[in-house]
Structure 1
Amino acid sequence: MGTLNFSSGQTIMRRGRDSREVWKIVHGIVNAVTRGTMMPMGAMKVFQSADPLWFYLHVSCQISAYIIGVGGWVSGLVLGSKSPGIQYSAHR
């Protein structure tokens, strides 16, 4: 990773990740797993024949996804506070 200055043509290379990059990765993975996998999995009603077990799986998926998803939302808030002057109005 690096920075390219178009006016001077210089590149500044840096090594490692800063804390914003780590928060971006955490935010993306947590929200993809909770909202992209766990919520839809808990919303399916395919196994109605296994009624008591399926209900508990449904509830545990939905509650877990919600709680972990709140963590993803908080990571987005932290990421926003670490990025002063940057507005992601479409993503909000």
Structure 2
Amino acid sequence: DDTSAILNTLDEQAVLMPAGMKPIIGKENIKQFWWPNDGSRTKVTEYTMKVMEIDGNNDLAYTRGRAELTFTYEKDEEKTEQTNSTMSLTLYRRDPEKG
């Protein structure tokens, strides 16, 4: 349950595409979606990804696969656990500062 560690995997222009919702664009908007400042607490308890395809070049690559995310959500006296299974497409860009 490390919010910063999760957010540090995202680019500033990251796009989250939850099923049935409009895309959520930008790291800060994703943070507000997953961890709103309303007294609630979202805790990621498990994330797995099965890579089905990977390709790219020296500067840009992608993975396509299936992902499963399990999390708990708590607010006031209510606590729920949910698991979402999705298809995923992740783009990776080389950071020129890190080589």
* TM-score interval, smaller chain: under 0.3
User: Which has the larger Rg?
Assistant: 1
Where relative contact order (Cα < 8 A, 6+ residues apart) is larger, the structure is 1
- Which is richer in strand? 2
> TM-score scaled by structure 2?
0.23
- Which is richer in helix? 1
